[in-house]
Amino acid sequence: MSDFKEINITELTASPYNLFNKDWALLTAGNSEKFNTMTVSWGGVGILWNKNVATVYVRKSRYTLEFIDKFDHFSLTFGGDSMRKALTFCGKNSGRDYDKVKETGITPLFDEKVPYFKEGKLILICKKLYRQEMNAESFIDKDIIDKCYSDNDYHIIFIGEIEKALIKE
């Protein structure tokens, strides 16, 4: 039995600025046989194309990118301070080198479309709508390149329609 209840995304009262910048999230893609997760602290939620969407950014070097590219859905597990140790580990270590579930003790749960984690307080299940690679030519403020992309490891932008929002009961 799940510890979560589904809500309409319009009922969400949490600040999107706090969700990403303060709480962070585990971005997960894959299935019950094989998945990977990584920490994200850049992202957003809003309305685009008349849909409720979440936007996330994944560097080309990240192992999770292979899973996001392969599967139609991704999840965002927001956990805040209660998940800080796992979020820190998953942000600094690659799933190529570590079994993040084993190393952190987080518990995967499996929606019919994508894994998420029991320890979260808010889960967003998203269907991919859009993928766009960032590049140096598109930046108007070139200082961002020096500050964030001196290694040329640009992000790929993913926009997903929020199909389901779950909160901890």
Each residue's pLDDT tens digit, 33-92: 999 999 999 999 999 999 999 999 999 999 999 999 999 999 999 998 889 999 999 999
pLDDT at 84: 94
* pLDDT tens sequence across 110-163: 988 999 999 999 999 999 999 999 999 999 999 999 999 999 999 999 999 999
Q: What is the dihedral of CA 30, 31, 34, 40, to 10 degrees?
A: 40
Confidence of residue 25 (pLDDT cuts 50, 70, 90): very high
* pLDDT tens sequence across 82-119: 899 999 999 999 999 999 999 999 999 998 899 999 99
Q: What CA–CA distance (Å, rounded) separates 85 from 62?
A: 20
Is the torsion defined by CA of 101, 104, 109, 111 positive or negative? negative
pLDDT at 1: 44
Domains: count for the chain: 1
What are the start-end ranges of the E strands in the chain? 4-7, 25-30, 35-40, 43-48, 51-59, 73-78, 108-110, 115-117, 122-133, 155-168
Q: Residue 141 sits in a domain of what CATH number? A: 2.30.110.10
Could you tell me the pTM of the whole model?
0.95
Range(s) of the domain holding residue 111: 4-168
